[in-house]
Amino acid sequence: MTDATDHDEIPRTFESGPSTPVHFGDGPGTWAEICVDAPLGRVWSAVTDIDLPSRFSTEFTGATWDDDRRGLGASFVGRNHHPTIGDWEIRCHVDAYDENRRFGWCTDHVDNPGARWRFDLEPTDAGTRLRFSVRLGPGPSGLTMAIDSMPDKEDRIIGRRIRELHTNMQRTVEGIKALAEGAVEET
């Protein structure tokens, strides 16, 4: 995996490449990272609450577990809203679960996801380092529909989407930090 920063200082990752211009097949992604002055267990509790990011994101509106299962193999339905494409729901599958270390899910199909999302936690002397990351593709998504409709603008479409995702991911890690450190009341 390659790390890079675009001209807007948004951190970007690529599963391969990146090519110039960037293509969806490069496996583009981004991350947001923050240090939280709180114990690992408290941060873990926040990141495994699948509905919690809806308090901070302007796109993610909530999620509901499919059943009582939690951990690897569990699934949930996430709800989202984007001003360009409206509301949608997507089934997600927990595909990374290492207690107090990593929690992640993929959207739609496990073998060909539209995206893979991860929370990674690392203990530090001051508390917990929290990293929230996403890798887009390789499967179909709203992004691939946009690219298919305007293939000559693929690089710009991907760049815009990475910036949108990063903004909400940054809001989410900052919100989790505030909650875990007690600066925001839990509801």
- Asked if the structure places residue 16 within a domain, the reply is yes
Query: What does the pLDDT average to over 143-169?
Result: 94
Mean pLDDT taken over the chain: 92
- Does the pTM surpass 0.85? The reply is yes
> What is the per-residue pLDDT for 150?
94
Higher pLDDT, 85 or 6: 85
- Asked if the structure places residue 186 within a domain, the reply is no
Farthest CA pair distance, the chain: 49
Q: For residue 38, which of 102, 132, 131, 123 has the smallest C-alpha distance?
A: 123
Between 95-104, 137-146, 166-175, the lowest mean confidence (pLDDT) is in: 137-146
> What is the per-residue pLDDT for 18?
86
Strands of the chain, DSSP E: 2-5, 11-14, 28-36, 60-65, 75-82, 86-98, 102-107, 115-124, 127-136
- Asked if the structure places residue 11 within a domain, the reply is yes
- Asked if the structure places residue 65 within a domain, the reply is yes
Query: What does the pLDDT average to over 127-145?
Result: 94
Scanning the structure block, which residue is given the tokens 């409206």? 86
- Asked if the structure places residue 95 within a domain, the reply is yes
- Whole domain around residue 83: which residue ranges? 2-180
- Inform me whether the pLDDT recorded for 5 exceeds 80: no
Positive or negative, the Cα torsion across 178, 179, 183, 186? positive
Alpha carbon distance 61, 83 (integer Å) = 13
- Inform me whether the pLDDT recorded for 175 exceeds 90: yes
Q: Which pair of structure tokens corresponds to residue 178?
A: 């505030």
- Inform me whether the pLDDT recorded for 157 exceeds 90: yes
Indicate the number of domains in the chain.
1
- Inform me whether the pLDDT recorded for 167 exceeds 60: yes
Q: What is the CATH number of the domain that holds 61?
A: 3.30.530.20
Alpha carbon distance 51, 60 (integer Å) = 9
> What is the per-residue pLDDT for 1?
61
- Asked if the structure places residue 187 within a domain, the reply is no
- Annotate 125-134 with b (16+ C-beta within 10 A) or e (fewer): eebbbbbbbb
Query: What does the pLDDT average to over 111-133?
Result: 96
- Asked if the structure places residue 120 within a domain, the reply is yes
111's CB contacts (< 8 A; 6+ apart) are none
Q: What is the pLDDT of residues 67-81, one digit of tens each?
A: 999 999 999 999 999
- Annotate 42-62 with b (16+ C-beta within 10 A) or e (fewer): bbbbbbbbbebbbbbbeebeb
Scanning the structure block, which residue is given the tokens 């001051």? 126
Between 25-29, 35-39, 53-57, the lowest mean confidence (pLDDT) is in: 25-29
- Asked if the structure places residue 154 within a domain, the reply is yes
